[in-house]
Each structure stands twice: as structure tokens, then as C-alpha cells.
């Protein structure tokens, strides 16, 4: 018996719907499972003494970063990081940074000219120690970039697996719906016309399947979106892997430079060790070192004071700022007759007195105000007293900022090696010397307890450790009155 016209029309409609669904399904290509290859093995990145030097600094820095989250209430009293600046303030900061760099460059030339007649053996270490610091800093930056890229590659692989699994599940459910549609379409023909109950059931089934198929068509659209998403993820994954290869090449180059510079420094130390030690005991050399750092800090203070005055003039809504600064200067001048200077308590920074934490852990070898000792262990007659602390620590130990501030000096300086100076505002500076590595450059903002350097023995120092000073308007004061042991 041939099916009636009604049955033919229903069959034609269902066949058309089925063809539409199948056509949409065929356009949604199945995506292969994403690769789950791990990032390139560390073994291919090289090794040796330079790698050990970098790993020592990098591991210590990572460890210190993890510990930063667990600081006790003592650290919570320390100054917080500077809040995000407005676009206008950012422009002002950039302008101030350029001005400071230009003035520092002029000062460096002036110092070199004045000291040309007093060259010292330790000057032979300047180029290699600066290059070692730069190479170590570059290696740490590359290690940070590597971790970020590897993390992103892991995220991409997880997203690819998730998208592929979702697409497979959508396709499976769609296939099941199409099969159900086909089977129900093969239901009773003429019997449905004769039996009203069967006819109503067939109409209900057809309406239900219409809704199901429309939902499946919507999901096919989602599968198309997933296909586009997977293609984008795969493209980004390829790009990130290329970045990783570039980082590998950079790391190999930086390690080679580090090995070369470490060898140069070792050779210079071996050749000039006796002469360097003799000059470091010379009273005249110690006085020149003392005057040199004082000159650098004075020049920095002048630049910062000029910038502060310009900012105060631009704001011009707080006339007490200028009077307070003048009062602080008078207090500093009045205290200059005292051997142990103490900053005035009227500053905002003064509320942190006794609540800061020293930059590194370790035994204190030399204290503020103490006499310098000669090779015989006796005080050197005529030598300037210590203006800060020397804290003994292993090379590579992370050096932490005692308070939030801005880097205003980051360079090699005769007598102090790789030197970093932070400006904390209101005329307060902190000084970190003899570092193996400087991790920030001039103009960069740092937060309290940020790692800013790594301990070393640069500048001809015989011992590994950190020389640390705190100053107010150029005058040193006792760090132990302001900071507790780490």
C-alpha cells in the first residue's frame, strides 16, 4: 500500500530537516586531541658555573617571594607601596626619571674626571662586575618570562583538551538525536490515520523532535565557535613555544657572557688582590670613598629636592609643605654638631622608626659610628668612622627594600661596587652596596620587602656581605635605631 499524501508531506519535511542537520554537522570538522608535550627540558638549556651563580640568585629570590606572603605584624607596620599613579602623574614621573638619569650621567663623568689622578686597582673590576650584574639580572628576567610562558602553555593545553572534549560530547548527543528522529519517523503510517491516539502521539513526537533538533542546530553553531576557539588556541600555543625557544637562546647567550665576565673578574682579582687589599686599608682611599658616596647622595638630594619643590608649586594647595621641609632642614643642620645624628620626628616616615626590617639576615660585622679596623685589628687612626652597617651574608642572598620607594641610583661606584639607592620621600634614602646583582634600574618603583639586589663582594671587598646605610637629607643615621634583624 502506498503512503497517503499526509504521510508523504511529513516524510518530506522530516527528510529536509534531517538533510539540514546532517549538512550542518558535516561542516563541523572534528578537532584532533591537542598535544600534551611538556615544555622543553631544562637539560637542553646548559649549565656550569654561570648557571650555578644564576640559580643561586634566582632560587633565593623565589624563596623570598614566597616568604613575603607570610610576614608577621612587624612587617605590616612598614610603609606600603605607592598607589597607582594617574596618567598625568605618570608623565611627571617619566620626566623626573629622564632628568635624574641625565644628572647622574653628568655626575659620573665629573667623578671620573676628578679621580683620574687617583686610579685604583679595584677599578679594573668595574667592567666585569657591572657586566656580571647585568647578566644575572637578564637571566632572572628570562627565568621569569620562561615561567610565565610555560604557565600559559599549560593553560592553553588544558583549554584545548576541554574544548575538544566538549565538541566530542556535542557531536555524540547530536548523532543520538538524529538516530531517534529517524527511528520515530519510521513509525506507523496508515495506522496513525485510522487510530486518533496514534496520530496524537505522532504529532507530539514530531513537535518534541522539532524542539530537540532546533536545540541540536544551536549546539552545532556552538561547535563552530569551539572550532574557531581551538584554532586560535593552537595558534597561540605555537607562538608561545616559539617564544620559549627564543628565551632558551637568550639564556644560553647570557650564560656565556656571565662565564666570560666571571673569568675576567677572577683573573683581575688574582692579579691585583694584594694591591686592592692595600688600597682598601689606606686612610686616603677610605676618605675618598666616603667623600665619593657623599657627593653622589648630595647630587641625588639636590635633584630630588628640585623635583619636590616643583611638585609642591604645582599643587600649591598645601602651603605647610614648604614650611615643614624648611623646618626639617633646620633640624638636620642643628643636629650636624652631634656625632650621632637622628632625623626629626616631625616627618611621616618617622612613624616607622623601630618597625623596619634589615635588608638581609646575617651577623653585623661593622656598626654605625664604629671605628674602622686595620689588618692588625686595631682602629685606624684618621680613618672615617662607619656610616652604616656591614652585614655578613652569603653571595646571592636576596637583598630586600626596607621600605617602599623609587630607585634613584643603580650603578657601579668605586669603593662600593654595585650600588643601589632608594628614595623613600621626605629626604629619606636607603643605600645598598657591594651587591653581586642589581635587580632594578633608575626610576623603578619598589614595594616594602621587594628583592632589589643580591649579595656579593663587589668593589674589591674581601668579604661577602651587604653594606647598608640610611640617610636623611644626605646625613647618615643609625639603621639599628630604625630596623630590626631579619
**Residue that has been written with the C-alpha cell 647618615 in this structure:** 476
Note the pLDDT of residue 386.
92
Note the pLDDT of residue 82.
46
**In this predicted model, what pLDDT tens digit does every residue of 76-117 receive, in sequence order?**
444 544 455 677 767 777 777 777 777 777 766 666 665 554
126 vs 342, higher pLDDT: 342
Residue 416 phi, psi dihedral angles, 5° rounding: -130, -5
How many residues are given for the chain?
A: 486
**In this predicted model, what pLDDT tens digit does every residue of 367-401 receive, in sequence order?**
999 988 877 778 888 888 899 999 999 999 999 99
Mean pLDDT of 451-456: 96
Tell me the C-alpha to C-alpha distance, in Å, between residue 331 and each of 271, 295, 484.
Answer: 48, 21, 25
What is the helix (H) or strand (E) element at residue 129, kind and residue range? helix 126-185
- What residues contact residue 445 under an 8 Å CB cut-off, 6+ apart? 81, 82, 404, 405, 406, 407
**Three-state DSSP state, 312:** helix
**What global pTM score does this model have?**
0.63
Q: Count H helices, E strands: the chain? A: 9, 12
Mean pLDDT of 234-246: 83
* Arithmetic mean of pLDDT over the chain: 74
Tell me the C-alpha to C-alpha distance, in Å, between residue 337 and each of 173, 325, 331, 470.
Answer: 88, 20, 11, 18
Note the pLDDT of residue 353.
94
Mean pLDDT of 311-316: 72
DSSP state of 436: E
* pLDDT exceeds cutoff 80 at 284: no
Please report the domains of the chain, with CATH numbers, ordered by start residue. Answer: 1-30+120-280 (1.10.287), 73-114+281-484 (2.70.70.10)
- Residue 483 · residue 358 · CB < 8 Å: yes
**Segment among 31-35, 102-106, 175-179 with least mean pLDDT:** 31-35
Residue 353 phi, psi dihedral angles, 5° rounding: -60, 125
Note the pLDDT of residue 74.
40
Note the pLDDT of residue 245.
84
For strands 405-413 and 417-425, give the pairing.
antiparallel
Note the pLDDT of residue 217.
73
Mean pLDDT comparison of 91-95, 147-151, 284-288, highest-scoring range: 147-151
pLDDT tier, 195 (very low <50, low <70, confident <90, very high otherwise)? low
Amino acid at each position: 500500500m502506498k503512503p497517503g499524501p499526509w504521510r508523504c508531506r511529513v516524510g518530506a519535511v522530516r527528510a529536509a530537516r534531517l538533510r539540514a542537520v546532517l549538512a550542518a554537522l558535516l561542516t563541523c570538522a572534528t578537532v584532533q586531541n591537542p598535544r600534551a608535550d611538556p615544555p622543553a627540558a631544562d637539560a637542553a638549556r646548559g649549565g656550569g658555573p654561570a648557571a650555578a651563580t644564576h640559580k643561586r640568585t634566582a632560587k633565593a629570590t623565589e624563596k623570598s617571594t614566597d616568604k613575603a606572603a607570610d610576614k608577621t605584624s612587624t612587617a605590616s607596620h612598614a610603609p606600603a607601596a605607592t598607589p597607582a599613579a594617574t596618567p598625568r602623574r605618570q608623565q611627571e614621573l617619566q620626566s623626573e626619571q629622564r632628568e635624574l638619569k641625565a644628572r647622574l650621567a653628568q655626575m659620573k663623568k665629573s667623578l671620573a674626571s676628578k679621580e683620574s689622578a687617583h686610579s685604583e686597582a679595584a677599578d679594573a673590576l668595574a667592567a666585569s662586575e657591572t657586566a656580571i650584574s647585568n647578566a644575572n639580572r637578564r637571566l632572572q628576567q628570562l627565568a621569569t618570562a620562561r615561567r610565565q610562558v610555560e604557565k600559559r602553555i599549560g593553560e592553553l593545553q588544558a583549554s584545548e583538551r576541554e574544548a575538544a572534549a566538549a565538541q566530542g560530547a556535542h557531536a555524540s548527543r547530536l548523532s543520538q538525536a538524529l538516530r531517534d528522529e529517524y527511528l520515530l519517523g519510521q513509525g506507523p503510517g496508515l495506522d496513525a490515520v485510522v487510530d486518533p491516539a496514534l496520530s496524537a502521539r505522532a504529532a507530539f513526537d514530531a513537535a518534541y523532535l522539532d524542539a530537540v533538533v532546533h536545540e541540536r542546530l544551536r549546539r552545532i553553531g556552538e561547535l563552530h565557535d569551539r572550532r574557531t576557539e581551538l584554532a586560535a588556541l593552537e595558534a597561540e600555543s605555537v607562538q608561545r613555544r616559539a617564544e620559549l625557544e627564543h628565551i632558551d637562546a637568550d639564556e644560553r647567550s647570557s650564560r656565556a657572557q656571565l662565564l666570560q665576565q666571571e673569568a675576567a673578574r677572577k683573573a683581575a682579582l688574582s692579579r691585583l688582590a694584594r694591591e686592592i687589599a692595600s688600597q682598601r686599608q689606606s686612610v686616603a682611599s677610605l676618605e675618598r670613598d666616603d667623600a665619593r658616596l657623599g657627593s653622589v647622595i648630595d647630587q641625588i638630594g639636590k635633584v630630588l629636592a628640585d623635583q619636590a619643590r616643583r611638585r609642591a608649586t604645582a599643587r600649591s594647595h598645601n602651603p605647610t609643605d614648604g614650611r615643614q621641609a624648611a623646618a626639617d632642614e633646620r633640624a638636620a643642620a642643628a643636629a650636624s654638631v652631634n656625632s650621632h645624628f637622628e632625623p626629626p620626628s616631625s616627618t611621616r616616615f618617622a612613624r616607622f622608626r623601630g618597625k623596619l626590617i634589615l635588608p638581609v639576615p646575617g651577623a653585623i660585622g661593622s656598626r654605625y659610628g664604629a671605628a674602622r679596623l686595620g689588618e692588625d685589628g686595631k682602629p685606624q687612626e684618621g680613618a672615617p668612622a662607619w656610616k652604616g652597617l656591614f652585614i655578613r651574608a652569603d653571595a646571592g642572598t636576596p637583598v630586600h627594600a626596607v621600605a617602599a620607594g623609587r630607585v634613584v641610583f643603580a650603578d657601579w661606584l668605586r669603593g662600593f661596587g654595585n650600588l643601589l639607592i632608594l628614595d623613600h620621600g621626605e629626604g629619606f634614602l636607603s643605600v645598598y652596596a657591594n651587591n653581586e646583582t642589581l635587580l632594578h634600574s633608575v626610576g623603578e618603583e619598589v614595594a616594602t620587602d621587594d628583592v632589589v639586589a643580591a649579595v656579593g663582594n663587589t668593589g674589591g671587598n674581601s668579604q661577602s656581605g651587604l653594606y647598608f646605610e640610611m640617610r636623611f637629607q644626605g646625613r647618615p643615621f643609625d639603621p639599628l635605631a630604625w630596623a630590626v634583624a631579619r
